[in-house]
Amino acid sequence: MEPYQLTATQALAKFKDGSLTVEEYARSLLERIEKRDDAVKAWEYINPEYVIQQAKMLDHLPRERWGPLHGVAVAVKDIIYTRHMPTQHNSPIYAGDKPNVDAAVVSTLRTARALLLGKTTTTEFASTATGPKTRNPHDVTRTPGGSSSGSAAAVADFQAPIALGSQTGGSTIRPGSFNGIFAFKPTWNAVSREGVKIYSVNLDTVGFFARCVQDLQLLADVFALEDDDTPAQQDDFSIEGSKFALAKTTVWPQAGPGTIAALEAGAKLLRDRGAEVEEIELPAEFDRVPEWHGIILDADARTTFLPEYRFAKEKLTSLLVDHVENKSQTSRAAQLEAFDGVAALRPRFDAIAGKYAAVLTPSVVDEAPVGTEFTGDPAFNKMWTALHVPVVNIPGFKGENGMPIGLSLVAPRYHDRHLLAVSKAVGEIFQAEGGWRT
């Protein structure tokens, strides 16, 4: 196995037993990137010299100064501020901009001694569904999804073991599904979003990509994600005898054949292993959440993009101009109704989901669409983003064109560690028998 193929957990083990240096690992990844970049185009910025410089520094560190992510390469979505590398938000307003500051997540990764590889592509301000240049590594005529396009594609294509993304609608879970990898949106505000360009304060969440759940657990340690349950209680999960909910939700009519088949297959695989899978229908009030999600997004963006609008409106995508100008003519009363309406449903959903090991639900409408213009529909993600709950995309299925399709597992707020433990068990089954292996 080449170093670039290693998961974060595997690479760490090799650094620890001395069978691999960070520099060797970094050079292997840089070679992989060089070879594949023309096809996949996952990067907005990468500077091999800066990568090697970090690797050499890490190799020279005495063991007692190693961190929990010693040498692990991380790709960073280009709406996340990084010292020493530009942050451009795929916006002409910020072309070449180098804010000399690390986002909270980047600072935490640096202190954990991660190796920062470079900046990955995003749709403009992670706000639109108009794709950047990036292509799906499994079929370069298709989109990798968005808005965390480059982060998901890089991880799927073995150009990085781990990547940072973000989710305001479906920007982490959707590309996770389209690229056939694990994607994790933690509980809202469980990870600091300081230094991640804001789209919606009420919805933005840092997201993570990896090729195995163990790597997500490693990140959960680094970012101090903690449930009320003790670690022992969280890890003590067996599919046999457990009970899952299956929620199609109000947007189910939008599901394509690939997702319909995947949800059926996923439920069957769980039942075959001795789990109970109970289809649930959320109370009627939940039907309004997707609409409320849109209202909150509009209203928050009206505030967020005022500076760019005032500075250079002509360089701002029309969607955001419309938000700032409140083209939808959303009243403050309607905005507050949406804000308060979703807030009231959050504890209700927690109570419902808390009765199950997790809620199984679609990640996407279907396989990644053809073309890179449109990054796909976040219809199946809005509900969970608005409810602030943790979600993991579990890859494991294939669509009619052989492209990956994942399913989402959802848990109550601040049950992130529990959800990862469940995801690990479910991921093993889906990958073993669902037809897609990451």
Catalytic annotation, residues: 77, 147, 171
Q: Rounded to the nearest whole angstrom, what is the least distance from the CB of residue 347 to its own copies in the complex?
A: 5
The reply on whether position 194 binds its own copies by CB under 8 A is: yes
The reply on whether position 197 binds its own copies by CB under 8 A is: yes
* Residue span binding its own copies (CB under 8 A) among the ranges 1-9, 97-105, 171-179, 379-387: 97-105
The reply on whether position 223 binds its own copies by CB under 8 A is: yes
Nearer to its own copies, 7 or 187 (CB): 187
* Residue span binding its own copies (CB under 8 A) among the ranges 99-107, 122-130, 149-157, 246-254: 99-107
* Residue span binding its own copies (CB under 8 A) among the ranges 12-20, 152-160, 170-178, 339-347: 339-347
Nearer to its own copies, 14 or 413 (CB): 413
| CB 381 within 8 Å of CB 142 | no
Residue 34, CB half-sphere, CA atoms under 13 Å: how many? 8
Q: Which of 13, 39, 101, 432 binds its own copies (CB under 8 A)?
A: 101
Dihedral over Cα of 31, 109, 388, 320: its sign: negative
The reply on whether position 232 binds its own copies by CB under 8 A is: no
Q: Which of 13, 84, 99, 241 binds its own copies (CB under 8 A)?
A: 99
> Binding marks (x or -) toward its own copies, 299..338, rule CB under 8 A?
-x-xxx-xx--xx------------x-x----xxx-xx--
Total binding residues for its own copies by CB under 8 A?
49
The reply on whether position 127 binds its own copies by CB under 8 A is: no
The reply on whether position 346 binds its own copies by CB under 8 A is: yes
The reply on whether position 81 binds its own copies by CB under 8 A is: yes
Nearer to its own copies, 32 or 193 (CB): 193
The reply on whether position 283 binds its own copies by CB under 8 A is: no
Nearer to its own copies, 37 or 194 (CB): 194
Q: Which of 44, 78, 157, 227 binds its own copies (CB under 8 A)?
A: 227
Q: Which of 51, 190, 391, 426 binds its own copies (CB under 8 A)?
A: 190
- Alpha-carbon gap, residue 314 to 10, rounded angstroms: 48
> Binding marks (x or -) toward its own copies, 356..395, rule CB under 8 A?
----------------------------------------
Binding site for its own copies (CB under 8 A): 81, 98-102, 104, 107-108, 111-112, 189-194, 197-198, 201-202, 223-224, 226-228, 300, 302-304, 306-307, 310-311, 324, 326, 331-333, 335-336, 340, 343-344, 346-347, 350, 413-414
